[in-house]
Structure 1
């Protein structure tokens, strides 16, 4: 499943700061349709994502009925992204349970 959406970078402050882009409700609804085939537990959904010229693998994190896309420093810093910046995300949900290799 391939998705494109725009969002604003947010920060969650814990022992160390984490940066995310909230996935819009419409795309969360689409992801929910394949969540059972994609999750590897705890509601976490593996994805391949791209912002600007930087592609990366990560996992969507469930929060308050929605999902958050983590932005590691290796993704944010080369693009100069910080809290409040608007970004466009291209994302592919990685489905689990493909053919077994044995």
Structure 2
């Protein structure tokens, strides 16, 4: 399954000195992913993916976010630097779920 969407980068503060940057997948696609991958998710409900923003592609996992009700994709610092993205920037993202 391949999902392409546009989303704003946002920060989750894990601890006072630790923060992670994410984008949220759209609700409709998140619901479809939950249906198509029922019973196949890994730890924390994660799914392995290949993600692309601009000219940068990397492999990671997406995670269900109960608060938002969608899957979220972590966007590494190296990707943000390569694509000149700051928090609150809007990016076009392609996510390919692996192993379906």
- Scaled by the length of structure 1, the TM-score of the pair is 0.85
Instruction: Please list the CA deviations of residues 69-97 of structure 1 after superposition, one character each: whole Å capped at 9, or x if unmatched.
Output: 0001111111111111001111110126x
Q: Which runs of 5+ in 2 are unaligned?
A: none
| Equivalences for residues 1-102 of structure 1 within 5 A | 1-15=1-15, 16-36=18-38, 38-64=40-66, 65-95=69-99
Q: Which runs of 5+ in 1 are unaligned?
A: 97-102
Question: What SS class does the counterpart of residue 74 from structure 1 fall into?
Answer: helix
User: Which protein is bigger by CA-based radius of gyration?
Assistant: 1
Runs of 4+ residues deviating >4 angstroms: none
What CA distance in whole angstroms lies between the structure 1 residues aligned with 2:55 and 2:39?
A: 29
